[in-house]
Chain A
Amino acid sequence: MNSSNPFTEPHKTSEALSDLFGLMSVERRRKVVWMMWSKSSSTTRELAKEIAAQEQDVAPDKVAHDDYHILYNNLSDHHLPALHDSGVIEYQGHTVRPGPHLQTCVVMLGVTRPIVWIFETD
Chain B
Amino acid sequence: MNLLQRLRGDSSTGRPIPVPVDDVFQLLRNRRRRIIICRVSELEPEESTSIGAIAEWIVSIETGDPLGQYSADERKAVYVTLMQTHLEPLSDSGLIEWDPNSGEIRRGEGIDVLADLIEDVSERAAASEAGA
Contact = CB atoms under 8 A, between A and B. Distances in A.
Please determine whether chains A and B interact with each other in the same assembly.
yes
Interface of A: 1-2, 5-10, 12-14, 16-22, 24-27, 30, 87, 100-101, 103-104, 107-108, 110-116, 119-120
B86 interface: no
Nearest to A4: B66
Given A7-B38, A12-B129, A111-B16, A25 B29 contact: yes
B115 to A, nearest CB: 8
Q: How large is the interface on B (under 10, 10 to 19, 20 to 34, 35 or more residues)?
A: 35 or more
Nearest to B31: A14
A10 B119 CA distance: 11
Interface string B9-42: 0010001110001111110111100110011001
B76 interface: no
Contacts of A110: 7
Given A100-B131, A112-B21, A116-B4, A107 B121 contact: yes
A101 B30 contact: no
Contacts of B114: 111
B128 interface: yes
B38 A108 contact: no
A114 B121 contact: no
A110 B122 CA distance: 15
A6 B38 contact: yes
Given A5-B66, A25-B26, A108-B121, A87 B132 contact: yes
Contacts of A12: 129
A120 B8 CA distance: 11
B117 A107 contact: yes
Interface string B102-132: 0000000000011101111110111011011
Nearest to B62: A11
A21 B29 CA distance: 5
Contact of A9 (B17, B21, B31, B39): B31
A7 B64 CA distance: 12
Given A1-B66, A8-B119, A107-B120, A114 B16 contact: yes
Nearest to B9: A116
A111 B7 contact: yes
Given A111-B24, A114-B11, A18 B17 contact: no
